[in-house]
Amino acid sequence: MGPAASALKTPPPGLTTLANGHADKFPEEYVAQIVRFGKPIQAHGAADMPVWGPIFGARDKFNEVAVRQRIKNLCEYLKTLQEKES
């Protein structure tokens, strides 16, 4: 967990266990949607994770291909971190 984890109302998920509960298959599309658009928030709640789609868009001069590639690269990296359930 990162240095800000203790300040969050809900602890962040472990990025090494995202495949658990998904038949040990990394949920790439779900993760890509969360990275790009954020997690749907409950009424009157706040999103604890920043939405990276607009940040990547601004960084890449709103080049959609570059944004998708950046998110795909991040998902591919997260996929390599997955631990098997014991």
Give the residue extent of every domain in the chain: 15-40+48-80
Q: Which of 17, 9, 18, 75 is nearest to 42 (CA)?
A: 9
Q: Please give the model's pTM, rounded to 2 decimal places.
A: 0.72
Check residue 45 and give its pLDDT: 52
Per-residue pLDDT of the chain (86 residues; tens, 9 = 90+): 677 778 878 777 788 999 998 889 999 999 999 999 987 766 545 555 668 899 999 999 999 999 999 999 999 999 999 997 65
Q: For 23, left (φ over 0), alpha (ψ -120 to 50), or beta?
A: left
